[in-house]
Amino acid sequence: MQSLYTSASTMAQLQKQLDTTGHNLANVDTNGYKRRDAQFKELLTRNIQNQPASLQTGPLSTPAGLRIGVGGYVANEATRFSMGTFKRTDRALDAALSDPHHFFGIIDQDGVTKFTRDGNFQLSPQADGRIRLTDDTGRSVINGQNEPILLPADATGVELNKDGNVTGIVNGERRVLARIGVGYIDNPNQLTEDGSGLFTTPEQYQAVGGNPLTVGTLESSNVDMATEMTNLTQIQRAYQFNSKALMTTDQMMGIVTSLK
């Protein structure tokens, strides 16, 4: 019976790891995507006290006996914040961040400030005629004051420069119209992905000055196709192994039952 529980439990957890790997592969071409990594731990269910009574009552610093587990479980799904490669686009509203601690500020549909590494920005005309700077899904990009960036209705030739300024031509003259909000996150590993490609942070962030942008460039995902395909093969083989173990246990239980 123990092997039955172990195989079934491990197969369920391998499915979670398979989902994580599949999510990485599906986002291999997503700008600024950070790969996920499912981390396993042993699933301990009980201790069997098989030591003599004299040893059980001794001054032990660890539990006596045999520890029985039923496979492993996904204890954590960590995000890996290593840099992706830069790809040149020569588009005036594309920007990449060269510091792994830097993130663009975005306001989600609930009005909450979140963060992304995707610098593929768009212009969205508003009902009042002004132009809103957004990400590629229509969410507002913030300025240094944590407010949505809104440009004059008559602004043309809008582009970014390396210091984060948004410039455009108004009344025949190029002017600085806004500045993109770039936040410094001291420990990116504390960021939590919200399921839509944005990150939230429990800590305070600092506004970044200087020249944080590489304009006309986008950061690719940090997913390595060869690594993920290797992981996929290993997961599938582990799943098949546990599936065969499950079937073998079932067959053995059937034989035992028929002998009664």
Are 21 and 114 found together in one domain?
no
Are 122 and 46 found together in one domain?
no
Reduced to 3 states (helix: H, G, I; strand: E, B; else coil), residue 127 is coil
Are 247 and 134 found together in one domain?
no
Q: Are 92 and 215 in contact (CB under 8 A)?
A: yes
Are 42 and 148 found together in one domain?
no
- Nearest CA-CA partner of 196 in 152, 145, 135: 135
Q: Which range of residues forms the domain containing residue 76?
A: 2-80+224-259
Are 65 and 188 found together in one domain?
no
Helix, strand, coil content of the chain in percent (nearest 5): 25, 35, 40
Sign of the CA dihedral with 17 first, then 18, 19, and 21 last: positive
Task: Please count the other Cβ atoms lying within 10 Å of the Cβ belonging to residue 43.
Answer: 16
Are 205 and 246 found together in one domain?
no
Task: Please count the other Cβ atoms lying within 10 Å of the Cβ belonging to residue 257.
Answer: 8
Predicted confidence (pLDDT) per residue in 11-53, tens digit: 778 888 888 999 999 999 999 999 998 876 655 554 445 455 5
pLDDT surpasses 60 at 55: no
In 10-59, the DSSP E strands lie at 36-48
Are 101 and 162 found together in one domain?
yes
Are 25 and 103 found together in one domain?
no
pLDDT surpasses 90 at 221: yes
Strand-pairing partners, residue 199, are 115, 193
**pLDDT at res. 53:** 54
Distance CA 205, CA 191 (A): 11
Q: Is 58 exposed, middle or buried (0-12, 13-18, 19+ CB in 10 A)?
A: exposed
What total of structural domains would you count in the chain?
2
Percent of the chain at pLDDT exceeding 90: 55
Are 17 and 130 found together in one domain?
no
Are 178 and 118 found together in one domain?
yes
pLDDT surpasses 60 at 179: yes
Helical pair 2-26 and 225-259, crossing angle rounded to 10 deg? 160
**pLDDT at res. 83:** 95
- Length of the chain (residues): 260
Are 153 and 192 found together in one domain?
yes
| Token pair for 161 | 């420069």
Are 156 and 203 found together in one domain?
yes
